[in-house]
């Protein structure tokens, strides 16, 4: 069995309409499905389901972060609300939502808890990768798992060596034909919450090979050792594969690295949406803190902080940052939708990559600025640990460090000035 050294979200309430997963898992816990998923009829129905859950998710977010209580229950509840079915086409039993539909929903989740939003990234990406590959056998095999509410996590990059280097191996026994994986991964976003863990390894010929295995399979060890300054609860720690068996149907075809696909801009836009959600969350906290805790400075003409013109101006600045960041994310989502409608041509995908790069660059700045301005609505009381207002900056800074924003701006400038396309790597 997989090992985890975590405690679950004991503070999370159990919604009445959608039952959450067990609240206090012991080491070795594997989050099992708790109910039958009723696939939503369309994006509006799904968003209405999720909207009911968001106030309770948001109410416990700060406490979960301070006490390091991983939100197993909430992520399971979101999955069983049909969250990962949104982009599944109607002909395959899903609601057939657009990319913009998904990002509208993701912005709402990120504004409630940015950790949860980022932990969902591998699951959303897994669906998109199935759609992009268009492999009928893969769709037939994996879509039922998603429609059934199962969760997909990721065992991503490796430490040491050049960025992107893969040393994990998937070897095949020449006599039995059985394949086994050995290697260590880091940045395993969402894996602790997942039913399935996806990753890459090199096969016997040195070819990069994708695979997805059940998180409870013998030899798969998940460790909660992610200790970044922010986004503590994304479960982005270490995954160790020790002779983990992989079945033939669990091997996934790799996407070509020398051609564009919708996946890199999609993954990058998820990070931008998380940043925009942090900005909105900072706005919500600024409003609540001003109303409930702040008092005017001694020489203010106002008797209440809500009437202080400089506090009003500060809240207005935060609101503008959040508003613009969300608008940028949704505009870029439309560019990815346009690429799908254009048949995923290289031209349309390049446009999408450029738009996403701009949205991501701005969303990072907006989140960092909003997180800084929160402290200007009050005095020293705003810095007390009990309020945990610094989590917005820490979370925004951590997400921003996934990919250098300087490269985003430089790639856009190079495209506009010389027509040079951005790289076809996973960062664009």
- How far apart, in whole angstroms, are the C-alpha atoms of residue 428 and residue 114? 22
Same domain, 329 and 185: no
Same domain, 409 and 299: yes
Domain count, the chain: 3
- Cα–Cα distance list, 346 to 77, 86, 263, 416, 419 (Å): 38, 25, 13, 17, 14
- How far apart, in whole angstroms, are the C-alpha atoms of residue 157 and residue 149? 26
* Residue 9 structure tokens: 């979200």
Residue 1 lies in a domain: no
Residue 413 lies in a domain: yes
Residue 3 lies in a domain: no
Same domain, 414 and 268: yes
Residue 129 lies in a domain: yes
Has residue 21 got a pLDDT over 70? no
Work out the pLDDT band at 31, boundaries 50, 70, 90. low
Residue 163 lies in a domain: no
- Domain of 120, CATH number, reads 1.10.540.10
Same domain, 191 and 241: yes
- How far apart, in whole angstroms, are the C-alpha atoms of residue 78 and residue 64? 17
Work out the pLDDT band at 362, boundaries 50, 70, 90. very high
Same domain, 403 and 290: yes
Same domain, 48 and 150: yes
Work out the pLDDT band at 201, boundaries 50, 70, 90. very high
Same domain, 107 and 129: yes
Same domain, 329 and 218: no
154, 181, 210 - which closes a domain: 154
**What number of other Cβ atoms are within 10 A of residue 46's Cβ?**
23
- Domain of 324, CATH number, reads 1.20.140.10
Given this model, what pLDDT does residue 17 score?
Answer: 36
Given this model, what pLDDT does residue 273 score?
Answer: 98
Given this model, what pLDDT does residue 33 score?
Answer: 67
Mean pLDDT value across residues 27-35: 56
pLDDT tens digits, residue range 80-133? 999 999 999 999 999 999 999 999 999 999 999 999 999 999 999 999 999 999
- How far apart, in whole angstroms, are the C-alpha atoms of residue 279 and residue 180? 43
Same domain, 379 and 400: yes
**Mean model confidence pLDDT for the chain:** 91
197 neighbors 207 (Cβ within 8 angstroms): no
Given this model, what pLDDT does residue 20 score?
Answer: 36
- How far apart, in whole angstroms, are the C-alpha atoms of residue 77 and residue 64? 16
Given this model, what pLDDT does residue 32 score?
Answer: 61
Residue 206 lies in a domain: yes
Has residue 6 got a pLDDT over 50? no
Given this model, what pLDDT does residue 2 score?
Answer: 38
Structural domain span for residue 315: 263-418
Same domain, 118 and 194: no
Has residue 26 got a pLDDT over 90? no
% of the chain with per-residue pLDDT over 90: 82
Same domain, 280 and 135: no
Has residue 14 got a pLDDT over 50? no
Point out the least confidently predicted range of 13-22, 33-42, 261-270.
13-22
Residue 114 lies in a domain: yes
- How far apart, in whole angstroms, are the C-alpha atoms of residue 419 and residue 415? 4
112, 129, 154 - which closes a domain: 154
Work out the pLDDT band at 307, boundaries 50, 70, 90. confident
pLDDT tens digits, residue range 204-239? 999 999 999 999 999 999 999 999 999 999 999 999
Residue 379 lies in a domain: yes
pLDDT tens digits, residue range 255-295? 777 889 999 999 999 999 999 999 999 999 999 999 999 88
% of the chain with per-residue pLDDT over 70: 92
pLDDT tens digits, residue range 134-187? 999 999 999 999 999 999 999 988 987 777 789 999 999 999 999 999 999 999
- Domain of 241, CATH number, reads 2.40.110.10
């Amino acid at each position: 069995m997989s090992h985890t050294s975590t405690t679950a979200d004991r503070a999370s309430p159990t919604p009445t309409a959608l039952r959450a997963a067990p609240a206090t898992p012991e080491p070795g816990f594997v989050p099992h499905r708790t109910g039958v998923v009723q696939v939503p009829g369309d994006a509006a129905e799904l968003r209405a389901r999720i909207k009911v859950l968001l106030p309770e998710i948001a109410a416990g977010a700060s406490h979960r972060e301070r006490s390091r209580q991983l939100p197993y229950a909430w992520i399971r509840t979101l999955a069983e609300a049909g969250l990962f079915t949104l982009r599944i086409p109607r002909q395959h039993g899903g609601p057939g939502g657009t990319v913009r539909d998904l990002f509208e929903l993701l912005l709402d989740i990120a504004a409630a808890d940015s950790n949860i939003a980022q932990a969902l990234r591998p699951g959303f990406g897994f669906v998109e990768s199935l759609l992009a590959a268009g492999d009928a056998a893969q769709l037939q095999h994996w879509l039922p798992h998603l429609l059934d509410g199962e969760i997909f996590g990721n065992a991503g990059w490796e430490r040491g060596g050049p960025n992107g280097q893969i040393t994990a191996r998937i070897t095949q026994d020449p006599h039995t034909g059985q394949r086994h994986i050995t290697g260590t991964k880091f940045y395993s976003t969402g894996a602790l919450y997942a039913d399935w863990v996806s990753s890459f390894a090199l096969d016997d010929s040195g070819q990069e090979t994708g695979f997805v295995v059940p998180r409870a399979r013998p030899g798969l060890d998940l460790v909660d050792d992610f200790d970044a300054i922010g986004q503590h609860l994304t479960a982005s720690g270490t995954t160790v594969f020790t002779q983990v068996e992989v079945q033939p149907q669990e091997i996934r075809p790799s996407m070509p690295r020398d051609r564009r696909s919708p996946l890199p801009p999609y993954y990058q836009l998820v990070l931008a949406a998380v940043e925009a959600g942090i900005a909105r969350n900072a706005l919500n906290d600024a409003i609540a803190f001003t109303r409930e805790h702040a008092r005017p400075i001694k020489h203010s003409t106002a008797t209440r902080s809500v009437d202080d013109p400089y506090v009003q101006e500060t809240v207005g600045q935060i609101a503008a940052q959040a508003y613009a960041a969300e608008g940028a994310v949704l505009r870029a989502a439309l560019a990815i939708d346009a690429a799908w409608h254009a048949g995923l041509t290289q031209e349309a995908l390049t446009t999408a990559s450029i738009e996403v790069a701009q949205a991501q660059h701005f969303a990072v700045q907006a989140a960092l600025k909003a997180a800084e301005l929160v402290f200007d609505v009050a005095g020293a009381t705003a810095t007390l640990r009990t309020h945990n207002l610094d989590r917005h900056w820490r979370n925004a800074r951590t997400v921003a460090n996934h990919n250098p924003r300087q490269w985003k701006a430089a790639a856009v400038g190079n495209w506009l000035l010389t027509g040079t396309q951005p790289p076809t790597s996973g960062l664009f």
